[in-house]
């Protein structure tokens, strides 16, 4: 058992940390969010150049190694900067599915483009009725000669506006809740029959609702064996859940730090409010939440890197996401409350961290969902 980073991980952390600290301050981020695309193409190229886009991928796919701990290192630092570039959507979700399910040819065609920064991906899996159940797939893909025809509606397609390709989860057989019969297709974002309702999410990230009306795709756009995609999808979503949990750990550390600093300087009734014991105890409790969140994310990341069973890994991620969810709510709300009015304004970064952790709680299964899932595993 070893809790220290390898030299490579330490270098990776230093590199991302330095970038966030020196090039991703709050004003820069604010400007990036307000651009048309909502992220910086320049920074995206930099991410590729620095090799960060290779982090989620295995060495045999040309990646950095693909360990969950590596991913955790990057995401935690991204969390501190509230980085909005579509790393999660492209490299973890989309890239993850290709890595899990793709043929050698598909990987060759797409993964290197992802790692080079030239291909943006989005994964269309959630549906208006599905909530967090990945097996609840109403979107259909019907075989039609050498093609498939896709029909259905998807929601919260992260990076939907900018993605060049969409990875679409659709049912090729079976009933709505069946675990069998779920397939993934790679579809060109410009394919005929796709319509998108694009929007900015509360945390500044871009997403879209996507409708598929008789979208015709060739058989070679199928990723993996027909109808057998669910377990891979679950693994990828769990990896994404771990990634945003690590991001949350970074964000919460910033919230705690900023709150402590603020209460040291903010004066009321002639003294710094940080001298009030009631607030001190609440900040101590925030610290406890941060520490427990960090601990359980480390647990889950380490577990994903072992040879444990899928169920054990899923249980570890469910535990982490649930525990981090509870921590995020507490740390987020308390940060705002202890700052007072100023944190309720768009002007201060604290509210934006709060929005991001609130978003994270709702991504990939909220706290209660993960608790019940944990209990069932």
Partner 1 sequence: MNADFTAEELKFQKEVQDFLKAEFPQDIKHKVDNGIRLEKDDFVRWQKILYKKGWVAPNWPVEYGGTGWTPTQKYIFAMEMGLYGAMEPVAFGVKMVAPVIYSYGNEEQKKRFLPDILASNVWWCQGYSEPNSGSDLASLKTTAVRDGDHYVVNGTKTWTTLGQYADWIFCLVRTDSTAKKQEGISFLLIDMKTPGIKVSPIYLLDDEPEVNEVHFDNVRVPVENLIGEENQGWTYAKVLLTHERTNIAQVPNSKLKLRKLRDLAANTPDGFGGSLLNNTVFARKLAEVEIQVLALEYAELRTLAAVSVGKAPGPESSILKVVGTEATQFIDELYMEVAAYHSLPHIPEQFAEGFDGDRVGKGSLANSSNVYFNNRKKSIYGGSNEIQKNIISKAVLGL
Question: Which residue ranges make up the site for a copy of itself (CB under 8 A)?
Answer: 276-278, 280-281
228 secondary structure, DSSP code: B
Q: Which among a copy of itself, partner 1, none contacts residue 155 (Cβ within 5 to 8 A by kind)?
A: partner 1
What would the x/- binding string for partner 1 be over residues 61 to 90, using CB under 8 A?
A: --------x---------------------
For residues 98 and 110, the answer to whether their CB atoms sit within 8 Å is: yes
Does residue 13 touch partner 1 according to CB under 8 A?
no
CB of 281 to partner 1, least distance (A): 5
Does residue 305 touch partner 1 according to CB under 8 A?
yes
CA distance 100 to 93: 10
CB of 273 to a copy of itself, least distance (A): 11
Checking phi first, is residue 77 left (phi over 0); if not, alpha (psi -120 to 50) or beta? Answer: alpha
CA distance 302 to 308: 10
CA atoms within 13 A on the CB side of 264: 6
CA distance 136 to 73: 32
Of 3, 36, 105, 311, which lies in the binding site for partner 1, with binding defined by CB under 8 A?
A: 3
What would the x/- binding string for partner 1 be over residues 248 to 287, using CB under 8 A?
A: ------------x--xx-xxxx----xx-xxxxx-xxx-x
CB of 329 to partner 1, least distance (A): 8
CA distance 313 to 377: 10
Pair of tokens at residue 349? 């970064």
Closer to a copy of itself by CB, 5 or 287: give it. 287
Closer to partner 1 by CB, 25 or 368: give it. 368
Site for partner 1 in 21-60 (CB under 8 A): none
CA distance 254 to 243: 17
Site for partner 1 in 188-227 (CB under 8 A): 197, 199-203, 207, 209
Q: Which stretch binds partner 1 (CB under 8 A): 37-45, 115-123, 144-152, 357-365?
A: 357-365
Closer to a copy of itself by CB, 173 or 280: give it. 280
CA–centroid distance for 13 within its chain: 18
Three-class secondary structure of residue 154 per DSSP: strand
CB of 290 to a copy of itself, least distance (A): 19
Contacts of 13 (CB under 8 A, 6+ apart): 5, 73, 76, 77
């Amino acid at each position: 058992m070893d809790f220290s980073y390898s030299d490579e991980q330490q270098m990776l952390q230093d590199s991302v940390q330095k970038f966030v600290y020196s090039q991703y301050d709050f004003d820069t981020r604010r400007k990036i969010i307000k651009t048309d695309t909502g992220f910086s193409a320049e920074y995206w190229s930099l991410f590729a150049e620095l090799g960060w886009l290779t982090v989620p991928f295995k060495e045999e796919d040309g990646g950095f190694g693909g360990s969950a701990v590596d991913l955790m290192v990057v995401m935690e630092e991204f969390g501190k900067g509230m980085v909005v570039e579509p790393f999660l959507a492209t490299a973890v979700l989309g890239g993850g599915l290709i890595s899990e399910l793709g043929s050698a040819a598909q990987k060759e065609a797409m993964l290197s483009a992802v790692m080079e920064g030239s291909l943006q991906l989005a994964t269309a899996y959630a549906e208006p009725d599905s909530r967090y159940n990945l097996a609840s797939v109403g979107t259909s893909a019907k075989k039609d000669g050498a093609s498939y025809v896709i029909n259905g509606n998807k929601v919260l397609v992260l990076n939907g506006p900018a993605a060049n390709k969409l990875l679409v989860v659709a049912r090729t057989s079976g009933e709505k809740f069946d675990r069998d019969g779920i397939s993934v297709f790679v579809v060109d974002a410009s394919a005929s029959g796709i319509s998108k309702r694009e929007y900015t999410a509360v945390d500044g990230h871009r997403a879209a609702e996507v409708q598929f009306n008789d979208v015709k795709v060739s058989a070679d756009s199928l990723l993996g064996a027909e109808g057998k995609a669910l377990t891979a999808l679950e693994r990828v979503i769990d990896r994404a859940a771990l990634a945003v949990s690590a991001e949350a750990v970074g964000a919460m550390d910033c919230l705690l730090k900023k709150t402590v600093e603020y209460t040291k300087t903010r004066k009321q009734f002639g003294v710094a409010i940080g001298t009030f014991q009631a607030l001190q105890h609440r900040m101590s409790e925030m610290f406890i939440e941060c520490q427990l969140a960090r601990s359980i994310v480390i647990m889950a990341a380490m577990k994903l890197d072992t040879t444990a069973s899928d169920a054990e890994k899923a249980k570890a991620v469910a535990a982490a996401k649930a525990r981090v969810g509870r921590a995020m709510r507490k740390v987020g709300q308390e940060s705002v409350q202890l700052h007072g009015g100023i944190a309720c304004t768009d002007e201060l970064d604290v509210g934006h961290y709060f929005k991001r952790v609130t978003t994270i709680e709702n991504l990939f299964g909220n706290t209660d969902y993960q608790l019940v899932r944990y209990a069932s595993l």
